[in-house]
Amino acid sequence: MVAALVVFMAGLGYVTTHVGRAVVPAAHLGVAHENVAFETADGLRLEGWYVPSRNGAAVISFPGRKGTQKPARMLARHGYGVLVFDRRGEGESDGDPDAFGWGGDRDAKAAVDFLQTRPDVEADRIGGIGLSVGGEMLLEAAAEDHDIKAVVSDGAGARAFSDSLDEQDVTEMSTFDKAINTVGLAVRTGAMTVLTNEPPAANLRAVVGRIAPRPVMFIAAPNSKHGEELNRGFYAAAHGPKTLWEIPEASHVGGIDARPREYERRVVGFFDDALL
């Protein structure tokens, strides 16, 4: 059983880092946009779309150009510049795919650098909304890049090995199952480290405290079975200003569908307060 798990988790590490380049969907942003490209610090060219700002502020909707278009349309209606783009290894961007986003915080930082060159954007009015692993990457990026002035993390969960151990502690799991699961997670982490030549992702609970005094909003669907209950720990570790909004009936990153009006009111209001 253990041997089979080791083989499976090693294979999963390969699949998540070498298979499945996302296809670029049609643009449904609701307003005119520009095709843009910019470069990361490690030399990768990233491709995306940009809706020019009408209020001097801009928000990165991250990652990719698929599920991010709903919040992008919402923010564009309120005058925000919005940048959506293919992260490394996906769509039309350079690099190898990595479903867990190790090293992807560099993509978010490059997006901020790009927005700071835009004449329609004031350099101190840049924020980000991240969905699922995008929320995890934005939290990590914001902890290191103080030019990200506000973050909405929607659906973040277990990204690092230590995050996964934290998830075990908040779920119903026997001691034996925890031990087996820990072995599998360790194998997957080791395989991904070798295959990507990247260090393991940082523990999110350990880094979110460095975002303060910039505001952060955590949105979570705690019953989605995607580790989103970990946001309670992220919220506790953040120093503030901070907000935790749980939507029990929502699916993974499904708050915008479960409560569309409240989602718009809360998220737009958060960015209005932080960036305008």
Q: 126 vs 177, which has greater pLDDT?
A: 126
DSSP state of 75: H
Q: What is the CATH number of domain 2-275?
A: 3.40.50.1820
User: Do the bridges between strand 58-62 and strand 81-85 make them parallel or antiparallel, or are there none, so unpaired?
Assistant: parallel
Are 91 and 65 in contact by the 8 Å Cβ rule? The answer is yes
Using 50, 70 and 90 to split pLDDT, how confident is the model at 151?
Answer: very high
DSSP 8-state class, residue 50:
E
Alpha carbon distance 165, 65 (integer Å): 31
Tokens for 235, please give them. 């919220």
SS3 for 97?
coil
CA–CA distances in Å: residue 273 to residues 27, 62, 149, 151, 270: 29, 21, 11, 12, 5
First to last CA, the chain: 56
pLDDT class of 96 with cuts at 50, 70, 90: confident
Q: Which pTM value belongs to this model? A: 0.81
Mind listing the pLDDT tens digit for each residue in 190-226?
Answer: 545 554 555 666 789 999 999 999 999 999 999 998 8
| Residue in the structure block whose two tokens are 């564009």 | 76
pLDDT per position as a tens digit, 256-267 = 999 999 999 999
Q: Write down the domain spans for the chain.
A: 2-275
What CA dihedral angle connects 260, 120, 271 and 139, to 10 degrees?
Answer: 100
Token pair 């990507």 is found at 196
Check if the beta carbon of residue 266 is closer than 8 Å to that of residue 239: no
| pLDDT band, residue 11 (cuts 50/70/90) | very low
Q: What is the mean pLDDT of residues 169-183?
A: 54
DSSP 141: H
